[in-house]
Amino acid sequence: MLPRQLRYLLAVLEHRNFTRAADALHISQPALSQQIKQLEDRLGAKLLDRSGRFIVATDAGSVYAEYARAANHDLEAGRRAIHDVENLARGELRVGFTPTFMAYLVGPLISAFNFSYPSIVISVHEMTLDDLEVAISTDELDLGIAFSTVRSSDIKCEVIFNEQLKLVISDQHALSTSKHDVSVTDLSNISLAILSRDFATRSQIDEHFRAHHITPRVALETNSLSAIVEIIRLSELATILPSDVGLQQAGLTSLELTPKIPERSIALLSRRGAYERHAATAFRKIAREVVTIRNEQNGISLNRFKRNSLYKSPDERL
């Protein structure tokens, strides 16, 4: 049976008359009678008693009408749910980040999105680029944020900004008051705490060292970005991380390296040709806005973001 046939049956039972029900439904009386007859034939049971002055339900019709009302309510609830999802009054979003971005990008992005769409449930995952590509390809994630150097042709990349690696130190480090760039040749005399070799960031750092024939003084390696940040904050060790980490993390500062390590392109990743949820489209828009502010402010600072229009109510933005 069709949803409209359920509505037609319930209208006839409500008005107890085919003509009045047809008027309420804005269809002709013969068309209504035909639809009810088709429903009865499909079910193999008489639903309406037409013998009296008013139309009433048969025993079978009374039982079926209860289910028809419940089904009609569910269909209407489904229609409202679609409307809510389209208007982002409900829904979910699954986003993956490669590890480096958990240190400085996930905070501003997720907080800005949650401020604008508080009813959307967000699931955030940290994973390698390879795992991120697989998760997006198999529809386990809606979006990812990672380097644009993807391998799979199933993944679409939208480059949103370029990232610069710099020397990151604590505010108490001997170099923190320096007004000059740090030459990469000086890194042979500076004790470093750096990410382990399973990070793409480490691969880029090592390649830069090799290109300039530098043997850095590595005092510590770890696969934990949060550990690196804490160690640098509390020690005389230095590290090489995105410049935004030095800007956003309290107690840290960043210094330019010369020659500079080549910039990396950061991209929004999605499955090529796939349907995109409304929440994912909204997140994509928020990401572009966050990056625009980042570029204007020469870095991502959460305190600065909270003074921006992304953290104002819709009325305040007008």
Residue 184: partners with Cβ closer than 8 Å, 6 or more residues away: 208, 209, 212, 214, 257, 258, 259
Per-residue pLDDT at 314: 44
Where among 240, 258, 276 does a domain terminate? 258
Largest interatomic CA distance in the chain: 102
CA distances from 308 to 271, 289, 296, 298 (A): 31, 10, 12, 15
Q: Which domain holds residue 126?
A: 92-162+264-317
Q: Render pLDDT for 187-242 as a digit per residue (tens, 0 to 9).
A: 888 999 999 998 888 999 999 999 999 899 999 999 998 899 999 999 999 999 99
DSSP for residue 198? T
* Claim to verify: residue 112 and residue 143 sit in the same structural domain: yes
Q: Domain count of the chain?
A: 3
Length of the chain equals: 318
CATH number at residue 19: 1.10.10.10
* Claim to verify: residue 254 and residue 170 sit in the same structural domain: yes
* Claim to verify: residue 170 and residue 158 sit in the same structural domain: no
Q: Are 104 and 300 in contact (CB under 8 A)?
A: yes
What is this structure's pTM? 0.70
Amino acid at 318: L
Residue 122: partners with Cβ closer than 8 Å, 6 or more residues away: 92, 93, 95, 110, 113, 114
* Claim to verify: residue 157 and residue 300 sit in the same structural domain: yes
Per-residue pLDDT at 299: 58
Beta strands in 131-171 (DSSP E): 143-147, 155-163, 165-170
Query: How many whole angstroms separate alpha carbon 91 and alpha carbon 56?
Result: 42
* Claim to verify: residue 194 and residue 243 sit in the same structural domain: yes
* Claim to verify: residue 182 and residue 313 sit in the same structural domain: no
Which ranges of the chain have pLDDT less than 50? 302, 313-315, 317-318
Amino acid at 172: Q
- H-run or E-run covering 266: strand 264-271
* Claim to verify: residue 178 and residue 252 sit in the same structural domain: yes
Query: How many whole angstroms separate alpha carbon 218 and alpha carbon 238?
Result: 10
* Claim to verify: residue 220 and residue 181 sit in the same structural domain: yes
Query: How many whole angstroms separate alpha carbon 257 and alpha carbon 167?
Result: 7
Residue 286: partners with Cβ closer than 8 Å, 6 or more residues away: 109, 112, 113, 116, 310
Q: Are 36 and 47 in contact (CB under 8 A)?
A: yes
End-to-end C-alpha distance for the chain, whole angstroms: 49
* Claim to verify: residue 251 and residue 177 sit in the same structural domain: yes
Residue 170: partners with Cβ closer than 8 Å, 6 or more residues away: 176, 232, 233, 234, 235, 236, 251, 252, 253
CATH number at residue 233: 3.40.190.290
Residue with token string 């910039």: 263
Query: How many whole angstroms separate alpha carbon 182 and alpha carbon 240?
Result: 12
Residue with token string 């995105």: 242
* Claim to verify: residue 268 and residue 158 sit in the same structural domain: yes
Quote the distance between the C-alpha of residue 257 and its chain's center.
Answer: 33
Per-residue pLDDT at 318: 39
Where among 236, 258, 280 does a domain terminate? 258
DSSP for residue 95? E
